[in-house]
Structure 1
Amino acid sequence: MRIVIVSRIFTPEPAAASFLLHATAEAFAEAGHEVEVLTTTVPAGPAARPLTGVRVRRAPVKRDRQGYVRGYVSYLSFDIPVFFRLMFSRRADVYLVEPPPTTGAVVRVASALRRTPYVYDAADLWSDAAGVVTSSSFVLGALRWVERFAMRGAAHAFAISQGLIDRMRQIGIATPATAVGFGTDVSAFRYSPQPPPVDPHFVYGGSYSEWHGAEVFVEAFADVQRVYPGARLTFVGNGSEQPRLRELAAGLGLSGVEFLEPVAPETLAEMLSAATASLASLRPNAGYDYAFTTKVYASLVSGCPVIFSGTGPTGPFLRGESAHHPVGAAVEWSAEAAASAMLAAADAPLPEPSRKALADWAAARFSLRAVAGRIVAGTEAVVASER
């Protein structure tokens, strides 16, 4: 079949959605299908990894000051042109669309006009998360309507967890859905032995938006530096909260806090392989209590234990696995709890043999290829049922 993937984000941009879509496009091609990706041009940075049998077509888009496609103007700068790109391109057998909901809504309209089914990558529910950044009932109501419209028209949805499917049902989305799980690209993220840091080094890799609540680690780092003055805290990636985090670090008089632009997955894996621990967070009561912070997978397959602060299923996962593997720690969302976990990691860093064993175990269990295979199988079933 011919499949068109529609997404504002794709590799080489370092994000969970990029890695999943890359693996999915690759899996479709390996299954013998014709694959085309409609996405955006990327800012200067890491080069895209080649994809055999996949045609990637990029178009300009408006990005925010951090270089990210974020906000309604940015979304529409992709959504409106992609509607015409779909309407005037060769007909596909199926579309696979990635949020935001505005893109899903545009694809639903194009899908109806072209009489082509589409499937939806339901990584999360944007209308739930929006409550963190706005209290406007009009904005929240409009976004909920658009998200329902986008997802209800899909022939099938692929969700990260059963909890997300349950939440979809609660807000009136009855679209057939499959929980496909998540993982990471083990061809890019892998353990590579690195010299241990002289002083503790903590790495937060990935996005840090309002609902992540990453400020908890900046506040906790003040306690860490009182014990380890040479400790470092590095944020790698895009984040709408970066100005606020910079201001907070300056206000606390912290040294050793740095913010790096996105790097290639292989480079981030090397940083994680050397770090004392990686950091991940999810602010409680931000509308994402059912979400799993997928950045932990990239850390584990890089041999790096994770310190998670917050709510959702990530905590139970880490606490459950910690009885058998040195995966890290999960604590409540507070600076005191986060500082305690960071100091414990600094006091007893994981030795090299244990890091390699952790990476080997995680790579065997959390490869994105299995997730991509489930999406391919589900999409093939959708197309077969439409014929």
Structure 2
Amino acid sequence: MRVVIATRIFGPEISAASGILRTWAEEFRERGCDVTILTAKPPRGAVIDDPRGIEVRRAPVKRDRQQYVRGYLSYLSFDIPLAFRLLFSRRADLYVVEPPPTTVAVVRVVAALRRTPYVVRAADYWSEAAEMVTSSRLILGVLRRVEAWGLSGAMMLFSAHQPLTDRFRIAGIMTPAVPIGFGAETKDFRYDGQAPPEPPVFIYAGTHSEWHGAGIFVEAMHQVLHQHPGARLEYYGNGEDREEMQAKARGLGIEKSVEFYAPIPPAALSTILAAATATVASLAPVPRNNYALATKVYASLAAGCPVIFAGPGPTVEFLRQADHPYAGVAVGYDVDEAATAMNAAAAAPLPPPDRAELAKWSSGQFSLSAIAERVVDESLAIIRT
């Protein structure tokens, strides 16, 4: 059986989607499938390390100043060539699609022409996320219709979790959906015995865009430094809010304590997480985040590092109901609450034996490989019917 994965983002580009789709591709390969990945050329200077036995075809794409494929001109620079790449390639038995909605819509058109089923990794409801960057009713209306049309044509949606599936239903998207959850690649994220640092270090790892609201920790850090001079807050990743956050740190006079770094490979990030006092994660208090989950918490826990989350949504329930005493804490999207949690973590950092136990628990609960097995089981069932 031939499986084609269409995604604008894939390794060596650093993102959660890259790792997730790689595990899916490898699982399809292990089941005897012929797997091809149609993706974009990586950012400048990236070192390509493609999975063995999987064909990865890359095409040029428009990237922003941070070398990210973001915004609908960038998406279309991938989507339009993708249509021809799919139309004029060897026929597949299944397409696996990573959003944005325009990519899903292109695949629906080609899938109909070539009579090929497709499934979607539906990790978000893009139409509502777009409300953070535009108030145009025309743009939002078009996007909503394009997204619904693309998702409605799929044979299966692999949704992030049940609240997102419920949101699709409210929006009238009735495609069969399987909530698969999130996880971490435990081959990359693990704990290797690091002790918590002194002075304390807090890590935010991942995208910091408008709807993440990651600037709350810059403000909280101003309070933390009163109790823990020398503490540091480090951001790894990219996002539209970076310049504003840097300006906020300068305005508070704490720019030397708040550092920003480019995305780094998972294995290198794991070492940093494992040696941090705690990781911080956030989602802005907007309606679409009521069913969004901060996936970066899984990498942190797999590396034996507790999490401080600020904001709404399922991450709150996840941390409060986690069957582990050291997983972390969830607070409201409030500077004082975030600062209190950071000060508490700095005052009583988790010792190495407890970090090792936390990492062991996480790897047994939230493995990307286990999720990939379920995805491939469901996908192959679709092909065989």
> Please, which moves more after superposition, 71-80 or 129-138?
129-138
**Within the alignment, does 1:94 sit opposite 2:94 as a pair?**
yes
Match of 1:266 in 2: 267
Q: Shift in Å at residue 68 of structure 1? A: 0.9
Match of 1:364 in 2: 364
User: Which amino acid letter does the alignment assign opposite residue 26 of structure 1?
Assistant: E
CA contact (8 A) 2:11 2:50 kept: no
Per-residue displacement from partner, 1:344-363 (whole Å, max 9, x unpaired)? 00000000111111001101
CA contact (8 A) 2:183 2:366 kept: yes
**Within the alignment, does 1:158 sit opposite 2:158 as a pair?**
yes
Q: Shift in Å at residue 320 of structure 1? A: 1.7
Q: Shift in Å at residue 48 of structure 1? A: 3.9
User: Which amino acid letter does the alignment assign opposite residue 160 of structure 2?
Assistant: I
User: Which amino acid letter does the alignment assign opposite residue 332 of structure 2?
Assistant: E
Supply the distance in 1 between the matched residues of 2:324 and 2:368 (Cα, whole angstroms): 22
Q: Secondary structure at the match of 2:274?
A: helix
Q: Percent identity?
A: 54
User: Which amino acid letter does the alignment assign opposite residue 318 of structure 2?
Assistant: F
User: Which amino acid letter does the alignment assign opposite residue 96 of structure 2?
Assistant: L
User: How many residues end up aligned between the 2 structures?
Assistant: 384
User: Which amino acid letter does the alignment assign opposite residue 289 of structure 1?
Assistant: N
> Please, which moves more after superposition, 8-17 or 103-112?
8-17
| Distance verdict in 2 for CA 1:50–1:72, change over 3 Å | closer
Supply the distance in 1 between the matched residues of 2:75 and 2:43 (Cα, whole angstroms): 16
Supply the distance in 2 between the matched residues of 1:58 and 1:208 (Cα, whole angstroms): 26
Q: Secondary structure at the match of 1:135?
A: coil
Per-residue displacement from partner, 1:14-64 (whole Å, max 9, x unpaired)? 222111101100110011111000011111455344412211111111111
| Distance verdict in 2 for CA 1:367–1:336, change over 3 Å | same
**Within the alignment, does 1:186 sit opposite 2:192 as a pair?**
no
Supply the distance in 1 between the matched residues of 2:46 and 2:302 (Cα, whole angstroms): 21
Match of 1:53 in 2: 53
Match of 1:39 in 2: 39
CA contact (8 A) 2:308 2:330 kept: yes
**Within the alignment, does 1:308 sit opposite 2:317 as a pair?**
no
Q: Shift in Å at residue 288 of structure 1? A: 2.2
Match of 1:318 in 2: 319
Q: Shift in Å at residue 339 of structure 1? A: 0.3
Match of 1:113 in 2: 113
Q: Shift in Å at residue 324 of structure 1? A: 3.3
CA RMSD of aligned residues (A): 1.2
**Within the alignment, does 1:135 sit opposite 2:127 as a pair?**
no
Q: Shift in Å at residue 156 of structure 1? A: 1.2
In structure 2, stretches of 5+ residues that fail to align are none
Q: Shift in Å at residue 266 of structure 1? A: 0.4
Q: Shift in Å at residue 12 of structure 1? A: 2.0
Q: Secondary structure at the match of 2:186?
A: coil
Supply the distance in 2 between the matched residues of 1:64 and 1:286 (Cα, whole angstroms): 27
Q: Shift in Å at residue 195 of structure 1? A: 4.7
CA contact (8 A) 1:307 1:341 kept: yes
> Please, which moves more after superposition, 331-340 or 224-233?
224-233
Match of 1:214 in 2: 214
Supply the distance in 2 between the matched residues of 1:274 and 1:50 (Cα, whole angstroms): 29
Supply the distance in 1 between the matched residues of 2:223 and 2:307 (Cα, whole angstroms): 19
Q: Shift in Å at residue 194 of structure 1? A: 2.6
CA contact (8 A) 1:220 1:339 kept: yes
Supply the distance in 1 between the matched residues of 2:163 and 2:157 (Cα, whole angstroms): 14
CA contact (8 A) 2:195 2:352 kept: no
User: Which amino acid letter does the alignment assign opposite residue 273 of structure 2?
Assistant: L
CA contact (8 A) 1:105 1:149 kept: yes
In structure 1, stretches of 5+ residues that fail to align are none
TM-score, scaled to structure 2: 0.97
Match of 1:280 in 2: 281
Match of 2:5 in 1: 5
CA contact (8 A) 1:235 1:259 kept: yes
Q: Shift in Å at residue 206 of structure 1? A: 0.8
Supply the distance in 1 between the matched residues of 2:311 and 2:37 (Cα, whole angstroms): 35
Q: Shift in Å at residue 198 of structure 1? A: 2.3
| Distance verdict in 2 for CA 1:195–1:49, change over 3 Å | farther
CA contact (8 A) 1:12 1:48 kept: yes
User: Which amino acid letter does the alignment assign opposite residue 266 of structure 2?
Assistant: P
CA contact (8 A) 2:211 2:284 kept: yes
> Please, which moves more after superposition, 7-16 or 336-345?
7-16
Per-residue displacement from partner, 1:315-334 (whole Å, max 9, x unpaired)? 1111122x733011110001
CA contact (8 A) 1:236 1:263 kept: yes
CA contact (8 A) 1:45 1:263 kept: no
Q: Secondary structure at the match of 1:204?
A: strand
Supply the distance in 2 between the matched residues of 1:284 and 1:19 (Cα, whole angstroms): 28
Match of 1:25 in 2: 25
Q: Secondary structure at the match of 1:288?
A: helix
CA contact (8 A) 1:132 1:287 kept: no
CA contact (8 A) 1:29 1:52 kept: no
Q: Secondary structure at the match of 2:182?
A: coil
Match of 1:169 in 2: 169
CA contact (8 A) 2:200 2:276 kept: yes
Q: Shift in Å at residue 193 of structure 1? A: 2.3
